[in-house]
Structure 1
């Protein structure tokens, strides 16, 4: 991408100006947001949005409700395989054609859809999609979105700045009681997303993780203390929206105490109504009070809130009765992805989008069959099951959000802003500083830590090497060994099968563990075999911190909560004493450590 505005960017800006001049300008102008991301008023933008809606056909209005995936790194020139995938699923070759065909309100970016290769490519894709949206009817800018939670879930990778994930930030918060790092991380992340044309982030996670067996939330949550989670959620909402990016609190009414992944099954939440009010409600209430633009629903059954057996996404008592009426939320309700198993088990793909709208949702995210979903909503209006007034209400909320985030002022981002904003040294330094406060030393009974790097100890690093998230340059064992060597140690990474035989002669063995299950497991066997060598063993839990309760006692235990480079570097500095450990557990480890536990030296 050149260092001057591309023709595509200029065309998009001109088209946006035309839309604003046609009636949206007052909507955008009325939504000058304060630094905390709040919107000062709603009456003027609502009137402007209503005028836009009055000029739209039913098909155009229904299109605004949908946020779809599209395959390819380019809006108009995808790779052949991506063009074939678009043709198979949508009947069009390009993402731009998809936007035009369905009058889409938004597009969601995924790495697996080849949307997020580099920051410049993302910015160019965003500009091309906005041009397509503005070139046809109804000429309304797109809300481009992604899941950039950081930590274990980040769709945009290096060279963008990658921060510690939610539970790591919770560990830092337990130590300091400050929300400054969480807000700062969200503000920087929002600035970088906006520079790439992404104006909605499906974050922060507002779930309170109180179940160590939770297979889908875990470290994506800030922790187990609803008060602390509420404070951190509000801080991230304000930080993200101060950057002009819509924050999305998820997954309402709370996914933190489930044992089923809603991607592959239908979880059931067994909390009583009183327990929900005590545990799950506070973070969502805090998000609403902080002015959050959007709330994402969960595909979970919650009998105490709705005994019908419908997942929350399709539940009017939950979406309208609790989120809208009890919490007073007036923004956009977005479904979790409609291609997930949790929302598809009880009803067919033709019924799900209609039922979500009847429940009170506004944005319909990533239906498995966009054409079917679009036709089904149109048919529901034509049959009278849905009224056009109900459609209008959701479209109005979506347009107000777009105006509030400045999209009618110019959705296209100047090409040079990527270089000025994304992955710049100041942002990277902020990520490093924040990470230093998150690494948590859980046990150090023999005083093995900190390792004396000045003596150049021989260290062996082994253990789990999970699939690398976007913020890594290699397997975590290799990255940790590299960082320890850079600090003066002589660290070597070896696969688990060779570790026990190679351990003698080393000052210590560091074992990266990843979500150790209950009972016997290869990870437990590896740690036991290494302990039996007599060489001091340091367990480094690189995802959920519950691992230590499922392993033999070791010379030291450390939790990093994420295996991205920024956390591995921070862990190396803590292990060698270059940085003193300050992290404190944001969740209890049953049978081992209480909430807030952490060892200093």
Structure 2
């Protein structure tokens, strides 16, 4: 049996020679030699990307040890690696993996050390969902950027590339080498509950352009980007976390709409593509989700689109992939369909043993495992994990949340804020006539990109701009008493700024805004998630879309309202009329401006 030193020496220099995306792989023979020394159990483990609780690889808090024992049957990340030899670990905020950049770096180093100390030790591909905007796992002091739909409103390939380059550099400094971004779904359904502002927009060509630009930025940073969710999750009213969506696009519509951004991602050298737990009968009429579909993953993605990089499932704990088959069959069928990485199964023990059993029974061959393992090892090599698996504290200090990075995020955010309505030239607000501001509205659960409730962040931003601002959180479903409290508070203000969050025809947020408007005070509304809110509130004199309630976007919106910068964003999706959804209220590309 070769030593770890021998195995690592056999892979030296691979990072400079191995390429991905269907090109020649000059050093595949070295990787194949490495694979030939692995046991079947080790090969199976390398295909899994698993969650684990705790801020440390070896000494997590007791509550995290308890959670690991309950869900995985191990105490720590180190034990997870020793038992299952997993090839990847995914970080979550709720799993207490991402307290701060220095802790993340130490956790990453601990994971790598635990894996490399195993027989035939291999580096671990550490990943997370750092989409920015409403899906953010690594929070401040890391640099947080606007989310995808905001970037879509900015329409700048340069900004998308900058986002990928800076975000990628900061992730790499903490030991995270695979980011599950960008979202390549085209959001053509305003009722989409799971994609929405995570998409760059409704125009497939614009989405494709920004996806490709962001991918190039991540590649420049040495981080694997992941285009998701293939074959396209943009036109659904069902959340695949909780149900099984069906996409009714014809093959022609899919080719023109959904496939376009994925083609662009592949052309840009995308390192990994994530599957969707959706059914697309025009592509596969078997009733299987795309994650388990050989016609979609092997026939279309690998065959028709020519993609030879890593294919990863969306989380196998999601309901969309569990409705038809049991948890023991799902990972086996995913591999048979053409998947390489199996993400976050509900029970790793069940999934791991199911794949191992399928190999021993002949349903899966060793050659099939080796095919996926080769793709995964190519990616690890390209990312430099064989040569440089560890990160340093000084690298975190030099890279994460630098003043230059933060300025770049602020400037990008300013170019995304979209002014939809400005009746009578209400904006920009003047400190002379509107110096006392009441900031009210929805305070949804905060992603990692926030330092506090949106109303508080906005009020603080206005105060820094010279206004006297008071915050009053009214929530996403204000009661009659809360509405009355806000109306009473408005009497002492010169103007009211209200944040709205997914307003519907029956929402009490609508009642709040209407009663604030009835006071006669100027009301400025900001959609802090979906820009479609404006259709429900026609009486508001000034309306902006921020596309998220993260600090960077709210601060930019405040600067636009105060006239420090001019609004430059343009709607990346059309907004339909509330009384007749077949008619467009604001077309794609709509956006007002004024001189700052």
Cα deviation, residue 491, structure 1: 1.4
Partner of 2:29: 47
Matched, 1:465 2:443: yes
Partner of 1:185: 163
Q: 1:426 to 1:18 in 2, by over 3 A?
A: farther
Q: Does the CA contact (< 8 Å) of 2:433 and 2:494 recur in 1?
A: no
Matched, 1:568 2:554: yes
Given the two structures, how large is their TM-score scaled by the length of structure 1? 0.94
Distance in 2 (CA, whole Å) between partners of 1:520 and 1:388 is 57
> Where do 1:491-502 residues align within 5 Å?
491-496=469-474, 497=482, 498-502=485-489
Partner of 2:179: 201
Q: 1:77 to 1:552 in 2, by over 3 A?
A: same
Partner of 1:9: none
Cα deviation, residue 468, structure 1: 1.0
Partner of 1:76: 58
Among candidates 334, 341, 350, match of residue 328 of structure 2: 350
Distance in 2 (CA, whole Å) between partners of 1:153 and 1:360 is 27
Distance in 2 (CA, whole Å) between partners of 1:516 and 1:303 is 33
Distance in 2 (CA, whole Å) between partners of 1:395 and 1:444 is 56
Matched, 1:365 2:343: yes
Distance in 1 (CA, whole Å) between partners of 2:198 and 2:5 is 39
Cα deviation, residue 243, structure 1: 0.7
- Which secondary structure state, in structure 2, belongs to the residue aligned with residue 192 of structure 1? helix
Distance in 1 (CA, whole Å) between partners of 2:205 and 2:122 is 39
Partner of 2:154: 172
Partner of 2:586: 593
- Which secondary structure state, in structure 1, belongs to the residue aligned with residue 571 of structure 2? coil
Cα deviation, residue 45, structure 1: 2.8
Q: Does the CA contact (< 8 Å) of 1:262 and 1:341 recur in 2?
A: yes
> Where do 1:332-481 residues align within 5 Å?
332-455=310-433, 457-481=435-459
Matched, 1:270 2:258: no
- Which secondary structure state, in structure 1, belongs to the residue aligned with residue 226 of structure 2? strand
Partner of 1:507: 494
- Which secondary structure state, in structure 1, belongs to the residue aligned with residue 575 of structure 2? coil
Distance in 1 (CA, whole Å) between partners of 2:71 and 2:341 is 20
Distance in 2 (CA, whole Å) between partners of 1:97 and 1:235 is 39
Q: Does the CA contact (< 8 Å) of 1:247 and 1:292 recur in 2?
A: yes
Matched, 1:248 2:221: no
Matched, 1:94 2:80: no
Distance in 2 (CA, whole Å) between partners of 1:278 and 1:45 is 37
Distance in 2 (CA, whole Å) between partners of 1:362 and 1:243 is 23
Partner of 1:258: 236
Q: 1:461 to 1:25 in 2, by over 3 A?
A: same
Task: Report which stretch shifted further, 130-139 or 196-205.
Answer: 130-139
Cα deviation, residue 528, structure 1: 1.3
Distance in 1 (CA, whole Å) between partners of 2:554 and 2:531 is 15
Q: 1:455 to 1:526 in 2, by over 3 A?
A: closer
> Where do 1:300-319 residues align within 5 Å?
300-319=278-297
Q: Deviations over 1:330-374 (max 9, x none)?
A: 000000000001100110000000000010000000000001100
Cα deviation, residue 454, structure 1: 4.7
Cα deviation, residue 26, structure 1: 4.3
Q: Does the CA contact (< 8 Å) of 2:147 and 2:198 recur in 1?
A: yes
- Which secondary structure state, in structure 1, belongs to the residue aligned with residue 576 of structure 2? coil
**Paired residues, number:** 576
Partner of 1:3: none
Q: Does the CA contact (< 8 Å) of 2:22 and 2:306 recur in 1?
A: no
Cα deviation, residue 507, structure 1: 2.2
- Which secondary structure state, in structure 2, belongs to the residue aligned with residue 443 of structure 1? strand
Given the two structures, how large is their TM-score scaled by the length of structure 2? 0.95
Q: Does the CA contact (< 8 Å) of 1:454 and 1:488 recur in 2?
A: no
What is the RMSD of the two structures over their aligned residues, measured on CA atoms? Answer: 1.4
- Which secondary structure state, in structure 2, belongs to the residue aligned with residue 407 of structure 1? coil
Distance in 2 (CA, whole Å) between partners of 1:130 and 1:19 is 16
Q: 1:17 to 1:567 in 2, by over 3 A?
A: farther
- Which secondary structure state, in structure 1, belongs to the residue aligned with residue 445 of structure 2? coil
Matched, 1:222 2:200: yes
Partner of 2:15: 28
Distance in 1 (CA, whole Å) between partners of 2:246 and 2:536 is 26
Unpaired stretches in structure 1, ≥5 consecutive residues? 1-14
Distance in 2 (CA, whole Å) between partners of 1:371 and 1:247 is 28
